[in-house]
Amino acid sequence: MTPGVDAPTWPVEFADRYRAAGYWRGETFGGVLRERATAHPDRIALVDPAPERRTWTYRELDQRVDRLAAGFAARGITRGDRVVVQLPNVGEFIEVVLALFRVGALPVFALPAHRDTEIAYFCSFAEAVAYVVPDRHAGYDHRDLASRVKRRTPSLKHVFVAGEPGEHTALREVPCEPRPLPGPAPHELAFLQLSGGTTGVPKLIPRTHDDYLYSLWGSNDICAVDADTRFLVTLPAAHNFPMSSPGWLGVLYAGGTSVLCPKPDPATAFPLIERERITMTGLVPPLALVWTDAAAHTAHDLSSLESVLVGGAKYSEQAARRLEPALGCRLMQVFGMAEGLVNYTRLDDDFETIVSTQGLPISPDDEIRVVDDHGNDVAEGEFGHLLTRGPYTIRGYWRAPEHNRDAFTEDGFYRTGDLVRRTPTGHLVVEGRAKDQINRGGEKVAPEEIENIILGHPSVHDVSVVAVPDAYLGERSLAYVIRREDAEPLTSVAVKRFVREHGVAAYKIPDLVEFVDAFPRTGVGKISKKHLRTTAADQQS
Ligand code: OOB
């Protein structure tokens, strides 16, 4: 699938420049795996510790991926086809993704928490031909979800189940004798990642082999990832952060070892760090807080840890100061986005810079602009809207021409929606957000999506969902609801239940619901979210 057909791509002069600079190396994921398997076949690529410890050498991973890719191809899945993948942190996830890469089919990375509404949307919007699920995960039966989605999605021909398949196809039945596959070209799309989103439905982010591979090896250089790295995949493996910053794909690129963590709590992760001699992991701020506290009284040996990356949401300076002494390793802050741009504090930055900034971009060719509300560059050190363009930042969302007109400038800068300032060394400090989004400890919620659901309740006249500060998560969600005068009485519990029953990820259910008689309005009569946020913050404090 050639980028440009379904989404805007880099103009030729930029693509030429990125190739000439050596950022785009003309590699593909399938090719990289084959090369690593040839260069060091017996090194351990992957460990899935639960329920029994399973390991994959690079040779085994390559061979299994080859057989699975052939099996997908034999079932008619071909280059450019979309496949929604919703698996937790298990070895099958890695195999499926790498096999789809090898075929040239595009994984669409759903999260394990997604439910009917999100999955049905991804499958229909992406016109997915297949959907890959676990049998059960965290007490939830994904086969039933798949049956419901399949009934309403004409394009969906296959459901593959890791585990007991029920009425679907067992993933273990798919592999067959490898055969040569045409495979994708480096400039073609590798996958579709989900955007955190500010709109009613999430946007799909088209990433190419060339651009994503650059973000991997660029991250590896900065984070000192090499063949001796033992990376713990603590966050959901399908999210951009644990996948590529530097993530399990970065570690694969370097020939190191990734260990899949089934749950992110210290009780699960700390024994694994000790047993697997983990050197590196990535955490969102709330988890970093929990780990920092738990490290004080753990009996587990965490001394193998060399660095921990923290990002996805703002990490408070006070919390950042405590991490290194508690965990006995280096902290790196990461400020990234699935659309592209990733910033890291550097290993040789001084302590103050590491705890008080969100780092520098990966690439010398990441162009950064900080602008005011009218798009004019602000003075050095002032804060404003972050715009960016570069060798691994997309030029447009997938099949979203209208949205792209707002989300990108005419000359191709992505409007991140983040408010930042730049220090004299060029480090970015995230000061806040202009986009209408809730960042619930790294999990992004688009208020509009939840407002649209609540508006469907017969007793609701109007609704506005906003973020409120939270000591642990950074932010939580609050739904302000205006009841219909003539309707049945409505409780907070009923509103939450209504959202849950609509079938969305649990983290999107409003944490708080309050009933009001009217909303504050702006001069032009729109609901003033700014005003509501301030009221909410005052009430909570
Ligand atoms: C990562 O990716 P997304 O796509 O889930 O979310 C991106 C947004 C950013 O635009 C920003 O609003 C926020 O998440 N964010 C941060 C942050 N890191 C991300 N806000 C403040 N401080 C930080 N350190 O979240 C993501 C992707 C790759 C690597 C790391 C995180």
**Is a pLDDT exceeding 80 seen at residue 2?**
no
| Per-residue confidence (pLDDT) for residue 3, from 0 to 100 | 66
Q: Given ligand 1 and candidates 337, 357, 430, which is best to mutate, with the most ligand atoms within 8 Å of its CB?
A: 337
Q: Classify 110 as helix, strand or coil.
A: coil
- For position 526, what pLDDT does the model report? 85
How many residues would you count in the chain?
541
Q: Which two tokens stand for residue 178?
A: 């490898």
Q: Does residue 201 have a pLDDT over 90?
A: no
How many other C-beta atoms lie within 10 A of the C-beta of residue 457? 19
CA of 21 to the centre of ligand 1 (A): 27
| 285-299 confidence digits (pLDDT tens) | 999 999 999 999 999
Band the pLDDT of 459: cuts 50, 70, 90. very high
Instruction: Return the half-sphere exposure (C-beta side, CA atoms, 13 A cut-off) of residue 442.
Output: 21
Q: Assess whether the C-beta atom of 295 lies below 6 angstroms from ligand 1.
A: no
At a CB cut-off of 8 Å and minimum separation 6, what does 345 contact?
331, 332, 333, 353, 354, 357, 358, 359, 360, 427
- For residue 194 and ligand 1, the question of a CB distance below 6 A is answered with no
What's the whole-model pTM score? 0.97
**Local confidence band at 523 (pLDDT 50, 70, 90 cut-offs):** confident
Q: Which residues of 134-156 are buried (b: 16+ CB within 10 A; e: fewer)?
A: bbebeeeebbebbeebbeebeeb
- Residue range 240-289, pLDDT digits in tens: 999 999 999 999 999 999 999 999 999 999 999 999 999 999 999 999 99
Distance 358 CA to ligand 1 centre (A): 10
Ligand 1 center to 328 CA (angstroms): 25
Ligand 1 in reach of 204 Cβ (< 6 A): no
pLDDT band at residue 1, thresholds of 50, 70 and 90? low
* Rounded average pLDDT over 65-93: 98
Q: How far is the CA of 205 from the centre of ligand 1 (A)?
A: 14
Contacts of range 268-272, beta carbons closer than 8 Å, 24 or more positions apart: 269/232, 269/234, 270/294, 270/295, 270/298, 270/300, 270/302, 271/300, 272/49, 272/232
Q: How far is CA 493 from the centre of its chain?
A: 30
- Binding site membership of 418 for ligand 1 (Cβ less than 6 Å): yes
pLDDT of residue 200: 84
Residues 415-448 have pLDDT tens digits of 999 999 999 999 999 999 999 999 999 999 999 9
Q: Whose CA is nearest to atom 16 of ligand 1?
A: 313
pLDDT at residue number 539? 81
| Residue-wise burial string across 43-58, b where 16 or more C-beta atoms lie within 10 A, e elsewhere | ebbbbbbeeeeeebbb
Which atom of ligand 1 is least distant from the CA of 433?
12
Whether the CB of 444 sits within 6 Å of ligand 1: yes
For residue range 40-49, list pLDDT tens digits in order: 999 999 999 9
Q: For residue 405, how far is its CA from the centre of ligand 1 (angstroms)?
A: 22
Q: Can you give the pLDDT at residue 197?
A: 84
Contact 39, 255 (CB under 8 A): yes
CA 188/CA 168 separation, integer angstroms: 31
Cα 482 to Cα 462: distance, rounded to the nearest angstrom: 5
Q: Whose CA is nearest to atom 30 of ligand 1?
A: 336
Q: Give the range among 91-100, 192-201, 494-503 with minimum mean pLDDT.
A: 192-201
- Across 117-268, where does the E strand assignment appear? 130-134, 136-137, 140-141, 158-162, 169-170, 189-194, 204-208, 230-233, 257-260
The per-residue pLDDT of the chain, averaged, comes to 97
- Confidence class for position 524, pLDDT limits 50, 70, 90: confident
pLDDT tens, 354-390?
A: 999 999 999 999 999 999 999 999 999 999 999 999 9
What per-residue confidence (pLDDT) applies to 232?
A: 99
Ligand 1 atom with least separation from CA of 310 = 24
Return the pLDDT at 525: 85
